[in-house]
Structure 1
Amino acid sequence: MPLEQVAAEVGWMAGLNMVLLLVGVLIAWYSLQAVRWDVFLKKPKGRPAAVLRLLISIALGYFLMKFVSDYISLSSMLKHIF
């Protein structure tokens, strides 16, 4: 495999991972809107609560992206088994 082709594939995979990460964070942010934060936090409308929701969204989005990325990567390797 030529070096240019490998570099292009790595670039596409990096771009795909970035898009998956952003989509994962957006999905996590949207899903966290259903949580009743007033049960868990003293001031659910404050800035620290918003930062907490953002950090939780980033963490959940990262795990979602990692799962999807690993799934795509591993499923593409299955063709080498048979």
Structure 2
Amino acid sequence: MTDGFGQDALIQILVNLFSLGLCWWALASFRFDLFVREPKGPQAIMLRLLTALALAYLVSRFFLEYLQASRLLQYLW
């Protein structure tokens, strides 16, 4: 009954880490220097990290919910 829980947890961890890396990479092209006083300061780095985490959460939730919905399609017929 609990055979798939470990696999689901591993998939969630991998998708979350991939989304975080993807969002961090995508935010590297964003010009934070236009919006913060010291773009290389610790507060700007924390802002970039928190923005990447928030965006990665949204992206990973989308992909994980899409995966879950596609798995449930087998019960449609």
State the TM-score, normalized to the length of structure 2: 0.94
* C-alpha RMSD of matched pairs (Å): 0.8
| Aligned-residue offset at 1:8 | 2.1
CA distance in structure 2 between the aligned counterparts of 1:31 and 1:56, rounded to whole angstroms? 11
Count of matched residue positions in the alignment of Structure 1 and Structure 2: 77
Aligned residue number for residue 61 of structure 1: 56
The reply to whether residue 37 of structure 1 matches residue 26 of structure 2 is no
Q: Secondary structure in 2 aligned to 1:10? A: helix
Question: Partners of 2:75 and 2:2 in 1: how far apart?
Answer: 21
Can you give the 5+ residue segments of structure 1 that lack an aligned partner in the other structure?
Answer: 1-5
Q: Structure 2 CA distance, aligned partners of 1:78 and 1:7?
A: 21
CA distance in 2, matches of 1:16, 1:77: 16
Partners of 2:63 and 2:53 in 1: how far apart?
15
**Highest Rg: 1 or 2?**
1
Specify every segment of 5 or more residues in structure 2 that has no aligned partner in the other structure, as ranges: none
Percent same amino acid among aligned pairs? 30
Please name the residue that 2:9 is paired with: 14
